Amino acid sequence: MLMSPITTHVLDTALGRPAEGIAVVLELANPEERWTELAHGLTDADGRIGSLLPDGAILARGTYRLRFATAAYFAALGVSAFYPEVVVLFRIDDPAGHFHLPLLLSPFAYSTYRGS
């Protein structure tokens, strides 16, 4: 089954539910240490973006980042939050793999890990 090689899922741990409507940008670092946007999307009602890249897209080895625009999400909830943006840097050494990067989010903390 083909799927986007990079997926994400955002959970609002303060509310105990998926974080819908967070804008996410996927970027790749080039050799000059500049970033090139590869894709962008919004988290769905389940807090997921399963189609950042086309199904079966081929990745390059390198350093990537996901930028989560958390300020607008918290503002829509009427919540003052400490982190206006969460940036997750990660390295891909095996371009044939699948990379799921969940984000656990609250107004004053976040954590992430490589999921499955």
Q: How far is CA 88 from the centre of its chain?
A: 7
* Chain-centre distance for alpha carbon 50: 10
Q: How confident is the model at residue 45 (pLDDT cuts 50, 70, 90)?
A: very high
> What integer is the mean pLDDT of 4-33?
95
Reference 61, options 39, 28, 108; nearest CA is: 28
Q: Give the 3-state secondary structure of residue 75.
A: helix
pTM of the model: 0.93
Model pLDDT for residues 48-103, shown as the tens digit of each residue: 998 899 887 889 999 999 999 999 999 999 999 999 999 999 999 998 888 999 99
Question: Does position 2 have pLDDT exceeding 70, yes or no?
Answer: no
Task: Please tell me the distance from the alpha carbon of residue 63 to that of residue 52, in angstroms, as a whole number.
Answer: 16
